[in-house]
A and B are shown apart, each in its own frame.
Chain A
Amino acid sequence: MSELATTTVEVNGFPCRIWSKGRGPKLGFLAGLGGLPRWLPFLDRLAETRTVIAPSLPGYPGATGHNVLDSHLDWVLAVRQLIDKAGLGGCDLIGASVGGAFAADLAAIFPGRVRKLVLIAPFGLFDEQDPAADPWAQRKDNVASLMCADASRWTALVAPPEGANSIEWPIEMTRAFEAAARAFWPLGNIGLEKRLGLIEVPTLILWGERDALLPPSYAAKFARRINGAARAQTVPDAGHLAYLDQPDAVAKAALAHLA
């Protein structure tokens, strides 16, 4: 397996980090809330048989430029450029949480950009009868348990690594939440419902059964509206960022769908 490689591409004149690792056919990953402050065991599982390419969306760790994106169209076009510049056009794509909403839009709006799709608890819908929690109005000590079934997984994700800049690290973590807010404030509803019918590719929807942020009931709404063969599957003992809670199970399910 190849070592982790870091490259940088520009989107709208701002740098976006691209991480890649592994061997085999290319597989893109758009991370969820918080982005990728560090490489993950989940991505290592995928990299055993696939070349995993993880571009950082504007404003998430390793990337800036979120604050020139004023509309959803701006965001979708930024993601399209990022996917193309990362060499992921026409490849399989996994998108989680906020990244899941963009992956779904990419497949809907630009047919041919995505081969097969995996969505892990994607943002994009809001049901007043079954409302999502508010990720941006939380006491600090509540965030971890909103993100993961095992709160320590989130805590480990965002903990400053050895030698991190003690001023810039927390600002970068906050920036990732700002970038998510910029695109999805206040409810996460980007009108995706109207576009799901345009998704023609086989899609697997995975949802942590203990997702405290987005209700697992949303999985069926995605599966029902997507036009391609779509199947929803819950992940036991997993919260919103199921790939942190259950890296092996999520990787296994995703790879089986993409095979």
Chain B
Amino acid sequence: MKLMWFHLMPYTELPDDFNQKHPSVWVDIHSSLFDPRRAHHMYNDFMDELEFAAEMGFDAICVNEHHSNGYGLMPSPNLIASSLARRTTDTALCVMGNSLALYNPPTRVAEEFAMIDCISGGRLIAGFPVGSPMDTCFAYGQNPSMLRERYYEAHDLVKKAWTEKETFAFSGRFNQQRYINIWPRPIQNDPHPPIWIPGGGSIETWRWCAEMDYVYCYLSYYGYKAGLTTMQGFWNEMAKLGKDRNPYRAGFLQFVGVAENRQQALDLYTGPAEYFYGRCLHIDPRFATPPGYTTEATQRAGIESMVAKAANVANPATKAALKATNMKDIVDGGYVIIGSPDEVVEQVRHVGTSLNVGHLMLLLQFGNMSKDVTKHNTRLFAEKVMPRVKDLFGEWDDKWWPKPLARGQRAAVPAYQPALAPAE
């Protein structure tokens, strides 16, 4: 099993009365709550944490894209990833991802991902989300009725930009470009960097991932219990399509807090978890469902079936049925796994086997968790949990993992320059 360390980069100082005084953490969150001087430290802490995770031996470090969002400070995950490419050596860089329809022309995504792949020596995982309604339709003004069509077309353009050897013209419904010929080009060119698709649980996306042979990632904030129905739906669909049950076809997001024992875990992680599920997911429902964002097939399934009801759970703004914001319910609901290393090992193995996911994306920093606690959590997981879960799925081949240059072929990472650091 691959253990991947994911950062959302939440603003950690939303006020205690945030939910009472502000309608939404997303789209129209007030600028007065953002202190750039504090954000300077947050960004640097967060990047330290990602680098620390790489040092501790996680298989990948993961970043993602959000806009006008109080729990996600990465409008451009590519900026962070390029910095990480310089400060890490062997760890895969999972950019989860670039919302394709927001880039005009989408050629930009092909170029920036190729840059990251070159700088990192071929360590990029290229994530292509459609993007949430809040990010795409509201913060970025995209038309919800055309979003998916634009997304698929942009995907075709990016993939062709990576693989086509000659300068070509692209004549799409939404994108027309006479000369596409990206420089640089990705190191991973057989045929292109691995493409992973974060999705909410629509059948159309499962089928598309199967057809294209992409990794499907279910990135819900509600943990393995709520995710079970969706992942079962995914695997049932794979079976129908004649695909094997290779767990590396799938990725799944899970919050985890490890400590010496359960009580200590509660002491350490209750504050950050309640901050996240309370303040960070305080989203005005008026931004949840712009018309056209959800396809009619998914609407039909939503009215008809439980699978799609579970799918809606992935959209944090439509979480009507799941609103736990206190630690007991958060833990009972499986949103956050906590406990001693033994307890976490048992639960992580259960997540892996019950959902059949080979790529486990871990949120070991969440809410307003400090750098110290984050590093503590990360170290305990790396030292006491990781070695006891890595063996899972050893019989399967991960065909969807980056294929970097051999170590000897890669540029040496420059030594840290102590002259630039303040005296200890």
Contact among A171, A180, A182 for B146, CB-based, below 8 A = A182
Q: Contacts A171-B299, A181-B143 known; A136 to B290 CB distance under 8 Å?
A: yes
Q: Is the CB of A181 within 8 A of B291?
A: yes
Check: B144 CB closer than 8 A to any chain A CB.
yes
Interface-central residue, A137, A167, A186, by most chain B CB under 10 Å: A137
Across the two chains, which residue of chain A brings its CB closest to B141?
A186
CB pair B299 A178 closer than 8 Å:
no
Question: Assuming A70-B174, A181-B144, A182-B146, is B304 touching A139 (CB within 8 A)?
Answer: no
Give CA–CA (A137, B299) in the complex, Å: 18
Q: Does A177 contact B (CB under 8 A)?
A: yes
Q: Which of A165-215 contact B (CB under 8 A)?
A: 166-167, 170-171, 174-175, 177-182, 185-186
Q: Which of B122-180 contact A (CB under 8 A)?
A: 137-138, 141, 143-146, 149, 173-174
- Interface digits, B283-313 against A, CB 8 Å rule (1 contact, 0 not)? 0111100111000100110011000000000
- CA A215 – CA B131 in complex, angstroms? 32
Residue of A nearest to B174 (CB): A70
B305 to chain A, nearest CB (A): 11
Q: How many chain A residues have a CB neighbour from B under 8 Å?
A: 23
- Chain B residues lying within 8 Å of A182, measured Cβ to Cβ, are 143, 145-146, 292
Contact in complex: B138, A137 (CB < 8 Å): yes
B interface bracket (residues with beta carbon within 8 Å of A)? 20 to 34
B291 touches A178 (CB 8 A): yes
- Quick check: B299 and A174 within 8 Å, CB to CB? yes
Instruction: Please give me the residue from chain B that is nearest to A180 by CB atom.
Output: B291
Taking a contact as CB atoms under 8 Å apart, the answer to whether A178 and B286 are in contact is no
Interchain CB contact under 8 A, B292 and A181: yes
Among residues of B, the one whose C-beta sits closest to the C-beta of A185 is B143
Q: Which B residue sits closest to A176, measured CB to CB?
A: B291
Whether A129 is near chain B, meaning CB under 8 Å from some CB there, is no
CA distance A166 to B300 in the complex (A): 10
Contacts of B143 on A, CB cut-off 8 Å?
181-182, 185-186
Q: Evaluate contact between A136 and B304: CB separation under 8 angstroms.
A: no
- CB proximity of B110 to chain A, nearest CB, Å: 23
With known contacts A70-B174, A182-B146, A136–B291 Cβ distance under 8 A: yes
| Residues of chain A within 8 A of B138, CB atoms compared | 137
**In the complex, are the beta carbons of B286 and A167 less than 8 A apart?**
no
Q: Which of A125-166 contact B (CB under 8 A)?
A: 136-140, 142, 166
Query: Could you write out 18 A-B pairs with CB less than 8 Å apart?
Result: A67-B149, A70-B174, A137-B286, A138-B286, A139-B285, A140-B285, A142-B286, A170-B299, A171-B296, A171-B303, A174-B299, A175-B296, A179-B145, A181-B143, A181-B144, A181-B290, A181-B292, A182-B143
